[in-house]
Amino acid sequence: MRKTLHEIELEHRIPTSTLRAAIHRGILRAEKVGGIRMVDDQSDSFKTYLAEYKSRSGRELEEIIGEEVEGKFMKNGAHHGITIGLCNQKGGVGKSSSAAAIAAIFAERGYRVLVIDNDPQGNVSLQLGIDLLDIEVGPSYGTVSDLYLEKAVAHEVAVSTGYPGVDLVPASVDLAEVEMMLPGKSGSDLRLSMALRPSRQYYDLIILDSPPNLGKFSVNVLAASDWFLIPVNGPWALRSVKALLAVARKNANYYNSNNQFLGLFLTMVDRTRIMQNVREVAQESYPNHLFKTEIRRSTLARESEAMATPLPVYATDSAVAEDYRTMVNEICQRIQLPEPVGS
Ligand SMILES: Nc1ncnc2c1ncn2[C@@H]1O[C@H](COP(=O)(O)OP(=O)(O)OP(=O)(O)O)[C@@H](O)[C@H]1O
Ligand SMILES: [Mg+2]
């Protein structure tokens, strides 16, 4: 019997975003009836897909998907996902681990979150438990490359992670090649922004991770971000803020986009003199944008990375997870984020 994706979602508890991704990848067959995509739930294609989906590597699917089907949107009814980019062209400053941590905390508070991995290293995907080298799950997944190549929009390739309320558009190594294929024209700087536009309605927040350079993907992240956030873990990371702000400003003028500087925050903070000096210079240079909250240095960060689990989930009661929760409070204040529905 032919059913709409929504009917399949309700009956089998598979999110429509996941169904769309499978259709896009050619794993699940669908046909358009009167402009609406329908799936035959008696077909072999659907039965095979369902069996594969249900058996997917030990996740608590029922529990996870139960949350997703309910959905939780903001009370103001705007249903317009706010995009927050994490940028710093300096490598290893805490972009990906912070993106995963922040996403997990927003989800813990009832927001529907989408994370977009814009780095061929795929670190934030890994931190959220999605490894595209895992052949068992690999072929079923669309990736961020599809967005840059204009083959799909974000929610069509978003997959559910093991964390209730957090979806992900993963990255794989082929993204490195995609960068070379992108034309030099200005429109290619807006591909991510365009691919997010129809997807914003499905999420409260969209967190964008970026690579350690100021190339095409970082420029796309800046253009697609309503707000951008800069992690700083030392003097070199602080030095790069100026250049990053200049690029962001130039882009905002050029594309008439509204990417606002949400702020910079200190991470991997220890009691060294160097860190004290970084704090003082940051305070002096960016008095209105330096976050009050600092993220402490902790070995738990690396451990949670090795366990492919966001830090606040891996070490829920740790001091560093608490730092991230306080930071999310500060983000909420700064962007005046409405409460999620059902809170
Ligand atoms: N609070 C912390 N304390 C100690 N180590 C941390 C902390 N936060 C992150 N790290 C570690 O620092 C390293 C770099 O972090 P991360 O990968 O998040 O940085 P990044 O800016 O995304 O790097 P890249 O530029 O390569 O994408 C990781 O090994 C991570 O586990
Ligand atoms: Mg990273």
What confidence score (pLDDT) does residue 102 get?
98
Query: ∠ CA 155-159-163 to the nearest 5 degrees?
Result: 120
Residue 36 pLDDT class (50, 70, 90 cuts): confident
Strand-pairing partners, residue 159, are: 168
- Strands (DSSP E) contained in 68-184 are 82-86, 113-117, 159-160, 166-169
Closest-CA residue, ligand 1 atom 9, reads: 94
Q: How remote is the CA of residue 119 from the centroid of ligand 2, in Å?
A: 7
Mean pLDDT value across residues 255-268: 89
H/E run at residue 232: strand 227-232
Q: How remote is the CA of residue 151 from the centroid of ligand 1, in Å?
A: 31
Please give the radius of gyration of the chain, using alpha carbons only, rounded to the nearest integer: 20
Closest-CA residue, ligand 1 atom 25, reads: 91
Between 96 and 15, residue with greater pLDDT: 96
Distance between CA atoms of 310 and 165, rounded to whole angstroms? Answer: 13
What confidence score (pLDDT) does residue 206 get?
97
Mean pLDDT value across residues 38-44: 91
What confidence score (pLDDT) does residue 62 get?
35
Domain ranges of the chain: 2-55, 82-335
Between 324 and 130, residue with greater pLDDT: 324
Strand order in the sheet with 113-117: 159-160, 166-169, 113-117, 205-209, 82-86, 227-232, 260-266
Query: Does the domain at residues 82-335 carry the CATH identifier 1.20.1260.10?
Result: no
Between 180 and 322, residue with greater pLDDT: 322
Q: How remote is the CA of residue 163 from the centroid of ligand 2, in Å?
A: 19
- Is pLDDT above 90 for 25? no
Residue 138 pLDDT class (50, 70, 90 cuts): very low
Mutate to test the pocket of ligand 1, among 119, 233, 296, 302 (most ligand atoms within 8 A of CB): 302
What are the angstrom distances between the C-alpha of 331 and each of 102, 135, 246, 336, 338?
A: 10, 37, 22, 8, 12
Q: What is the pLDDT of residues 72-99, one digit of tens each?
A: 345 444 457 899 999 999 999 999 999 9
Q: Are strands 159-160 and 36-40 parallel, antiparallel or unpaired?
A: unpaired
Between 151 and 13, residue with greater pLDDT: 151
What are the angstrom distances between the C-alpha of 115 and each of 53, 128, 223, 342?
A: 21, 9, 16, 22
- Give rounded-to-5 percent helix, strand, coil for the chain: 50, 15, 35
Q: How remote is the CA of residue 68 from the centroid of ligand 1, in Å?
A: 29
Ramachandran angles phi, psi of 81, nearest 5°: -55, 135
Q: Do 232 and 196 contact (CB within 8 A), yes or no?
A: no
Q: What is the pLDDT of residues 268-308, one digit of tens each?
A: 999 999 999 999 999 999 999 999 999 999 999 999 999 99
The residue with tokens 């805490």 is 94
What residues does ligand 1 touch, defined as CB less than 6 Å away?
91-97, 119, 121, 123, 212, 267-268, 295, 297-298, 301-302, 305, 320
- Is pLDDT above 50 for 171? yes
Q: How many CB atoms neighbour CB 29 within 10 A?
A: 14
Its pTM stands at 0.80
Q: How remote is the CA of residue 33 from the centroid of ligand 2, in Å?
A: 42
What confidence score (pLDDT) does residue 255 get?
77
Most confident option among 94-108, 138-152, 175-189, 253-267: 94-108
